[in-house]
Structure 1
């Protein structure tokens, strides 16, 4: 009821503003782009069609695609609003989306709507900025922390340790819950938080170890452990959408304090080092260390005082984004993986067979997991990212007059793109695709016309595998457009970290646990979408191997 009251109030405000500014009150569609004709003839546009769909499926992005492109059977359409707000262009053709994010950065940039969504939480992070010289300098500052070499050094061992502790927790839960399902989402959040906090800050919060001790105390009938202080970093699991509220301001203050203390400690250590030592990368034990050491080095070379890191809002926000995104999105993706393993037992068995063949001696080291070529593992990870759709969609704004699939896109128009490749897209006229898109299809093939594009609603890792002339199977990263992390200059900066973490966690889970069939009430694949898309039933029933 409150939702309808708020929606009605906003519509009245829209209409009054339009009237006072001299605008018409009916939607004004862009020329040449499909839209719902009945929506163009009502003041509220597509909004009355959108509301019941959101209420039915609880996924905002999916609801938009359902009432536009999918309803019209078109790869591109527009969502109509009252005239004071321009239409939102909807794009649901993966190959063209991939072309935009990878090869058309001079035509499209971050959309104002996307900036407005994240700026209240991280106002100075690269996520909340348009492409400017300031943004480019900020991205260069953090580029090396996401290099494969640095991640293997600073993050991989901690991810491996956090996963082994998660296994300890789940073995304990298997004895406590016996044959009953239990929720895995928060456990994944804790393990991912353990991994990203130490990789970013250099300190171990031991959140999962805390949960193990708490459960052990509960089993033993000891109630004293509930009074133990929470580990560092657990505040990141709080709700982060309630911006402009006292609760959010308190949350933000806690973040700034915790990160600021760690930054001051690191800077103090680096300022005591001689120039020669400051240039040595051996002191970089975490991501924060690498960035701060270089800043101290530059200040000493220039013989200038170092800015207090606690006052560097850009750095604080960038770390905030990595901590939040690094644990929350990964936890959701891993929760989906567990759901897929339960729903597709034959695939789970095939993945376990591949891993046992690669690691016959048992639990592999982190070096073995990351250094061993296992095509089926690569395929299972990529398929999980594809079907989970954790980051469902993204927004871009046209920075020049341009075209998409033959439709004229005026400068300033905002485009909402579906990153979730889980169904066959509507057909397009190939002659209307860009030269870059055609060239990519000629080089890598059109996966939607091959086995890779069949039954996209199912979990099938083999769609990512091809046989060479020798008969050996190899992983084909280009079997389908890979949009889970976006792409190009404005793509997810944590892609390498997330992929590495996923590979380590999946390998150890499948080698040590079997995910058993759930009761019927738990088998749904329905989801809810907040910042990320997560399963409504994040449960597992497991057996130790």
Structure 2
């Protein structure tokens, strides 16, 4: 039998037990006597064991036999309830595999303990006197209390035991002691209500107290799981119910009890429910004679008039609202980290800096510029912003040297932040991008380890990229003839070109990647009708419908970008994935991905006896080959169709299609606006590929992958420095640490901006004593800490070149000339970086080889950006002159 693997701490176990008790108490208060439920679950077994009439001894034996059998069956059902019901349900609403497994274990403990406690209490109550400790309880002076009230006392005793355990586990927490005392106070209220027969008020107090207990136990579990935002909201609900029950209704009840106010319309004793005293019992008057004398004037089932003036009631209500407002304000307002600069005005707002950011996004859409403005405004390379309501502040780091130190050398202090996983968890929940660094992350990443191998780049990726870029050159030649020098939109063409190349790389040559080809066919079929050319006005060309997978990919991209702008991306994706538009796209994506994995598995089965893992294999075939080898090592059957295989394959295609599309969109702007650098790049290409010049053709894929053109590499790197498509690089502190001399608590997110100070503007002045030791030592032996000079904001590819030490007079490309974070850095940086560089070099080289990129009109060549998941240009147009 398969059991769920979980590691539940003692604190979580106590909290889950308390939550089970709370739910059981609430059920008892609502439904009164629980013996009906116990009889239902016991009756089939008793009928089978004892027959129609059972003697008392056999009845007792059947009770204990049934208890044993019930516990065994409940334990057997663990795998079904936890693995087949709770865990899939949690995964369905957006939790990852680790959290859903953990929460399913806790949910199972809550359900099992709640049901077992109900049955055990029923056996306890129905057993004979010799086996039933409640028999001793019945001989106390309060023996007239009903059986349901006895259930309440027993469950309250369980609460006290839990609270004692909690105080032993965490003796430094004073709030547990306070909570323990309030449980005693609640029990006192219950006894007082029963003595005064105020049953209507009693039920209200008990139900609200139960809700407070459930919320508090839920808060403890959320705290153990580090769900801070949900924890604060749940704690706010607990505080409200706690104050209402123990401090308002309790005082209201005692006011009525001691003053014995008469009621309008007389008093009619109404006794309902199971939690009551027997009014006909003669011992009632002996126990509480004073209350018995006043009971004729106390009837809380009708309205009660308090002898308070209207002004006093308003003042009391106003004071209560003021206290409640201050409590909520102190709980929900942002909590700044000590000494790190922040906007003081934002710290006094419930939403922090979020309203100001929203206004900026509505006005310009440029989030990166706003973040950089905040660092300038606060005059610090490290600031904190309150962008996530009810959570910890986010640190903004604008210093290349310290950023590289975090990414490269401080992996024990920082790990990948959960932000990207929150966005992509619905699309690819098992993709390695959302996992914490560890064995499981490495196992998933190894599925795509072929992306960085030279045979894959030369034999698979290079020809696919070259073919796709060549088709785009052909399309642009047709558009350039029709446009006659006018500008036309280029971003859509980039999208089709990139996705065409990635589809061939991932799925193989036999899959229809007709994004650019469909546009060529439409344009050539419609070539006789040339569009009207007007100065300063871009040309609009018709668009064809590509393959259904490409259309589905575009819809999925729109959905992810929409979720990226939401405060709750997981919930937003869950809602959007139920809508027909996105649901149909996800079905197509799932179907195509599985089909290609099946095809890859069949192909591998044919190729394995003949060849190893080299050759022009698709990414799906490389993954199937790796899974086959891994299954042989682990002595199991290969799982070619599995969530990790699907998520890693499509995740590579999705991630690779975005960064390079936007990088190329920025590249054509920059290259067109710098004609001198463009001419020098073209000359370097013609000098580097003399055979292609003599044969009047473009360089071949093998030539472009085997030869290094220093100025081409420098141009690509300078484009990434000036306008990186990456919006930010995020990390989270996995333990208490320090950054630039400031204390950073565990769980704090750090956003590193790959632009601004140190990249395209002068760096902040930071004393070396504030930097981390690894930052000081590694900066001396690796790349420069920051770019400097008066031309730091200008596009100068020559800054990445240095004289060759081997050949006099030649320049070589120096990748460590200065810092860059376009693809992150370190073990959690972009794993497909070599493939992205290859695609950028090939595409830019073919564009410059075949066209002269002209500067577009000012209205079309703006560098204004709009930010989502990436840093995107608002406009992307190109004006071309075809070269022979």
Q: Same fold (TM over 0.5)?
A: yes
Distance in 2 of aligned mates of 1:75 and 1:18: 35
Match for residue 291 of structure 1? 623
Distance in 1 of aligned mates of 2:466 and 2:388: 52
- State the 1:346 CA deviation: 1.5
Distance in 2 of aligned mates of 1:480 and 1:216: 46
Q: Is 1:197–1:233's contact at 8 Å kept on the other side of the alignment?
A: no
Match for residue 604 of structure 2? 270
Q: Is 2:861–2:876's contact at 8 Å kept on the other side of the alignment?
A: no
- State the 1:171 CA deviation: 0.4
After TM superposition, list the pairs within 5 Å mapping 1:52-131 onto structure 2: 52-66=359-373, 68-80=374-386, 84-131=390-437
- TM-score normalised by L of structure 1: 0.90
Match for residue 284 of structure 2? none
Change (3 A) 1:200 1:357: same
Coordinate RMSD, CA, aligned: 2.6
After TM superposition, list the pairs within 5 Å mapping 1:84-483 onto structure 2: 84-203=390-509, 204=511, 205-220=513-528, 230=547, 232-238=549-555, 239-241=558-560, 242=562, 243-244=573-574, 245=576, 246=579, 247-272=581-606, 276-277=609-610, 280-282=612-614, 285-299=617-631, 304-307=636-639, 309-310=640-641, 312-360=642-690, 361-362=692-693, 363-420=698-755, 421-444=759-782, 446=784, 448=786, 450-451=788-789, 454-468=790-804, 470-483=808-821
Change (3 A) 1:332 1:229: closer
- Worse-superposed segment, 112-121 or 225-234: 225-234
SS in structure 1 opposite 2:791? Answer: coil
Of 812, 826, 839, the residue aligned with 1:501 is: 839
Q: Deviations over 1:150-200 (max 9, x none)?
A: 211111011111111111000000011112100111111111111111111
- State the 1:306 CA deviation: 2.9
- State the 1:472 CA deviation: 2.8
Distance in 1 of aligned mates of 2:391 and 2:787: 38
SS in structure 2 opposite 1:330? Answer: helix
Q: Is 1:485–1:495's contact at 8 Å kept on the other side of the alignment?
A: yes
SS in structure 1 opposite 2:559? Answer: coil
Change (3 A) 1:538 1:282: same
- State the 1:396 CA deviation: 0.8
SS in structure 1 opposite 2:442? Answer: helix
Q: Deviations over 1:421-447 (max 9, x none)?
A: 333332211222122222332124636
Q: Is 1:283–1:289's contact at 8 Å kept on the other side of the alignment?
A: no
Q: Is 2:456–2:617's contact at 8 Å kept on the other side of the alignment?
A: no
Distance in 2 of aligned mates of 1:422 and 1:88: 23
Distance in 1 of aligned mates of 2:643 and 2:438: 17
Change (3 A) 1:450 1:261: same
Distance in 2 of aligned mates of 1:531 and 1:228: 26
Distance in 2 of aligned mates of 1:227 and 1:159: 22
Match for residue 510 of structure 1? 848
- State the 1:269 CA deviation: 2.9
- Worse-superposed segment, 261-270 or 361-370: 361-370
Change (3 A) 1:265 1:343: same
Q: Deviations over 1:281-301 (max 9, x none)?
A: 246611110110232344467
- State the 1:101 CA deviation: 0.9
- State the 1:212 CA deviation: 0.4
Structure 2: runs of 5+ lacking an equivalent: 1-229, 240-326, 531-541, 563-572
Structure 1: runs of 5+ lacking an equivalent: 1-12
Distance in 2 of aligned mates of 1:500 and 1:437: 31
Q: Deviations over 1:317-374 (max 9, x none)?
A: 1111111121222111111110101211121112112212222342222222232232
Q: Is 1:61–1:392's contact at 8 Å kept on the other side of the alignment?
A: yes
Distance in 1 of aligned mates of 2:414 and 2:785: 25
- TM-score normalised by L of structure 2: 0.56
Change (3 A) 1:19 1:520: same
Distance in 2 of aligned mates of 1:72 and 1:448: 20
Q: Deviations over 1:232-278 (max 9, x none)?
A: 534322323252212322222211111111111121233356x643x
- State the 1:226 CA deviation: 8.1
Match for residue 9 of structure 1? none
Distance in 2 of aligned mates of 1:155 and 1:227: 26
Q: Is 1:26–1:42's contact at 8 Å kept on the other side of the alignment?
A: yes
Q: Deviations over 1:180-231 (max 9, x none)?
A: 1001111111111111111111135132111101111122469xx9887636
SS in structure 2 opposite 1:294? Answer: helix
Match for residue 196 of structure 2? none
- Worse-superposed segment, 502-511 or 107-116: 107-116
Using CA pairs below 8 Å that are at least 6 residues apart, which structure has the higher relative contact order?
1
Distance in 2 of aligned mates of 1:525 and 1:82: 29
Q: Is 2:727–2:870's contact at 8 Å kept on the other side of the alignment?
A: yes
The structure with the largest alpha-carbon Rg is 2
Q: Is 2:459–2:615's contact at 8 Å kept on the other side of the alignment?
A: no
SS in structure 2 opposite 1:491? Answer: coil
Distance in 2 of aligned mates of 1:298 and 1:448: 43
- State the 1:525 CA deviation: 0.5
Change (3 A) 1:450 1:519: closer
Q: Is 1:90–1:417's contact at 8 Å kept on the other side of the alignment?
A: yes
Q: Is 1:263–1:288's contact at 8 Å kept on the other side of the alignment?
A: yes
Distance in 2 of aligned mates of 1:358 and 1:227: 37
Q: Deviations over 1:22-62 (max 9, x none)?
A: 65343211012111222223333222332222222202343
Q: Is 1:406–1:432's contact at 8 Å kept on the other side of the alignment?
A: yes
SS in structure 2 opposite 1:521? Answer: coil
Change (3 A) 1:300 1:482: same
Q: Is 2:727–2:869's contact at 8 Å kept on the other side of the alignment?
A: no
